[in-house]
Structure 1
């Protein structure tokens, strides 16, 4: 049942067994697990079934660190949450998101990655990953390339060096969450979803070790509260720390923040368009079909190029992966010969004549003309011919690709979310985001490309033109709307906000579901791991309630 919070009786107390704050991917997944049970569950969602500007503006905040997206556009504050932002075009004309589990090494304590390590290993999470595959309605829990190749059609690039390998991503359709699961929750007899209601404070007992209620406020001024046995915060990696920090009446630094950890360790997946990849020949270029999006086993998949685990250990790097994308503009310029010495000289002479440059400046290019007549004649023919027919075959004459890496960010306590002085329309302090990278982050960006370049050359596959520099944050670096780490998981309250069960340390009935609990990020999109974790959380809460 969907209920408009704006119509609830003023100051009414709503009671339930479980209260989930946030109806995005995490919140809807948990709710799905309780459909048809005897558990009286309610969901509190800030937005409605569609986006509206007034609600979305509550997300606004300041970026005070590295350049980042406007915070009101980096999150979707309505039913379905960020699944509305999954906009990768799929082969069946739908839109979706990249999915894969994190790698085993991502869960380990690594001596070269400060603050690394999860309370459990990947094997422990594997059963939940398998269930997450079903939740996302994607293919089998197999991510080895051999399960997805078609010999002679889609093969792995043959790397003659085990420092580099091929990995696989699957793609899930976004409609599964904001349409199918939202509709299932709406029809569930045991679930009430309160739309247009904003959690503004978590009220606890005097010892701040048990939540008593969630205070709710609407943009029309209406107020009420929700009291439950168990509470789950599932509003994403920026709003969860915000609400904890705002709930400071008993614990002055904010709930769960006795050790100044709430909001710290903000991680993204740094993305960057970089490095031109020049295949050795057209045969190599035509062998890259595995590295585009295609469909197999009724699932959209895509191959990517990654650093091997032993490379990460030997080189002491963060996890890194890259997709490769045809660069049609550069391939066309390469096909036409714009960079050939003779053609470049012709262009310089033409430009100098236009500028009426001194004759000495013009004549100095003449030597290159006589040294490269073949390129000039080819350029003249292809330029003329292109007026009458498209002699450049986009499908068969791609000679340049662009890398689009996505990498792990090192946990960094100085990269953080905190409260600002400015207030929103509800009178709540807004947030400010200070996204920061470390030397290990910037070093990995370039070193990974250097390793790939060496392996490509050694394998006779081509080479890279590397455009980044070690230990310098490159221009154009951006995130993926992946907000992780701000309520990190650790067995000790001195090093984490939540325990291995995702329960806030020191508070008996408050849990967090989402990527904000990640101690490290790996390079994989956080969705599949988030779903695996909240499925595990749902099982844990069922066990508590059914006892």
Structure 2
């Protein structure tokens, strides 16, 4: 059932077998495993159905180190969470992303093979095709330029599929309303985790509503699915038994924050044989325009990118970097971006609301379309999204500012630097060699990427792919949760979501979020089926 938490009796206690904190992509995927089972499940979602500025304000915080991250935009408070506004482009992490590599803190305590069955389940949950995620599998749907690259170079072409679960709440709300064993409390913000005196077991979650009510949830097992920022805030703010918070005996909660920088890393000056381009995407006229549209938005409903093979990455000791080829970027007005995002999600109400602003800036929108798609480019951009090195100094801490519940807000300290730049630069150089050999043109790195030092481009970037902060590890000195997803030292507390990723790959995290959540759900189900040791 869907329950308005504002109507709950003040000071009451809700009892369940399982309490899930957070109704975003991870929490909803985990909850789906328990639908129509014998387990009584309570899910606390801080926001309502749909947008609410008061609820979203609870996610506000500060980002104190360049580059900054819009915290509330990355963690909207509503059923579905960030999966209400995500692009829904999905791709699994690769096996190499789980391996220990040549730098500190690399690798997962589980292999890609162990997660493979759950990637298959994630594929089904996200309602995507089973054709896979390689360019070879989608050869008939690839833009022509990517087909040339796949056939004529040593580069690999990878594919993203678009999940129809966007926005996710519209797809799951009906099932949640009809569920007999699962109650979703909307507008219920988890404020504190209560544990036994020795801290080894959770005895309750204290929650509050925007209209001032307080209640508690008592369950046998608890799963935190509040996202990379929200989960850390809750753990660190729960100081009933320890000033360090819950699960933070070794000071690891909040560390290893990561994002996927999205940035133009180089530009390819195009070659033309006898004054004519070799590839349709760089031709003039209608044919070239259609090819450029196809390159950015293939009719097959996929997106493509290029990357180095695993053997090259191992030999060179490189992170995972995926690049997209595109005409020179001319950013549309924000109002246009928002309008077409709502058009894609078929949100008629928000489309109509944004239409006057779009019409006011229509000449500018037309100019962008002309320069981005109609005008024949002389160069193509290499637009990359990249993994970064695990860094314990990249972290989320509590700030001195508090939200309306008196809960400390998050302060994000994201560090990326010279070594990350070197990795991107070397990867792009190797890609450029391959593209030049096939006759596409010559690559020039962006000047800031060629310079030594810590500085990254000053333009805004990031995919709102917030990861790390409660990383998975074998031993508690190196992370927050064990390989099953259980918090070290707290036998009935679990965490799901991108915060458990020890390393990050370059793929959008959504599919791995679902896969790891489904894996942890199976572990929790096994515990619930056994004797209660509490």
* Short-chain TM bin: 0.7 to 0.9
TM-score (norm 2): 0.84
What is the TM-score of this pair, normalised by structure 1? 0.82
Answer yes or no: is the 8 Å Cα contact 1:328–1:400 preserved in 2.
no
Partner residue in 1 for 2:350: none
Aligned to 2:127: 137
For the 8 Å contact 1:160–1:458, the answer to whether it is kept is no
Contact 1:66–1:435 (8 Å) recurs in 2: yes
Task: Measure, in 2, the Cα distance between the counterparts of 1:320 and 1:11.
Answer: 51
Pick aligned residue for 2:418 from 417, 439, 445? 439
Residue 42 of structure 1: how far off its partner (Å): 0.8
Instruction: Identify which of 515, 523, 527 aligns with 2:510.
Output: 527
Unaligned runs of 5+ in 1: 87-95, 331-389
CA offsets per residue over residues 254-297 of structure 1, 9 Å max, x none?
Answer: 1111111000000100111342223323222438777533244x
Displacement, 1:465?
A: 2.7
The answer to whether structure 1 residue 458 and structure 2 residue 428 are counterparts is no
Q: Which residue of 2 aligns with 1:318?
A: 319
1:448 counterpart (424, 427, 432) = 427
Q: CA deviation at 1:159?
A: 6.4
8 Å CA contact retained: 2:6, 2:187: yes
Q: In terms of Rg, which structure is larger? A: 1
By how many angstroms is 1:161 displaced?
8.1
* Alpha carbons 1:446, 1:470 under 8 Å: kept: no
Aligned ranges for residues 144-543 of structure 1 at < 5 Å? 144-150=134-140, 154=144, 156-158=147-149, 164-175=155-166, 177-281=168-272, 282-286=277-281, 291-296=295-300, 300-327=301-328, 394=373, 397-467=376-446, 468-471=449-452, 472-476=455-459, 478-543=461-526
1:76-113 superposed Cα distances (whole Å, 9 cap, x missing partner): 11111001222xxxxxxxxx4211111111100002x2
Contact 1:129 1:529 in 2 (8 A): yes
Moved more, 66-75 or 402-411: 66-75
Say which SS state the counterpart of residue 73 (structure 1) adopts.
helix
Q: Aligned to 1:110, which of 98, 101, 108?
A: 101
Q: Distance in 1 between matches of 2:42 and 2:309?
A: 44
User: 2:330–2:372: 8 Å Cα contact kept in structure 1?
Assistant: no
Q: How many residues align?
A: 475
Once structures 1 and 2 are overlaid, which stretch shifts more, 412-421 or 465-474? Answer: 465-474
Unpaired segments of 5 or more residues in structure 2? 283-290, 332-368
The match for 2:354 is none
Which region of structure 1 is more displaced relative to structure 2, 493-502 or 473-482? 473-482
Which residue is 1:34 aligned to?
Answer: 34
Aligned to 1:65: 65
* CA deviation map 1:277-321 (0-9, x unaligned): 23323222438777533244xxx2122111221222222221100
> What's 2:363 paired with?
none
Q: Secondary structure at the match of 1:224?
A: strand
Secondary structure class of the residue paired with 2:163: strand
Which residue is 1:346 aligned to? none
| 1:151 shift after superposition | 8.8
Cα distance between partner residues in 1 of 2:370 and 2:134: 38
1:200 Cα offset (Å): 0.4
Q: What secondary structure, in the 3-state scheme, does the structure 2 residue paired with 1:173 have? A: coil
Output the CA distance in 2 between the equivalents of 1:392 and 1:143: 31
* CA RMSD, 1 decimal: 2.3
How many angstroms apart in 2 are the aligned matches of 1:262 and 1:323?
A: 34
Per-residue deviation, 1:395: 5.6
Task: Tell me: CA distance 1:35–1:97, structure 2 relative to 1, closer, same or farther (3 Å).
Answer: same
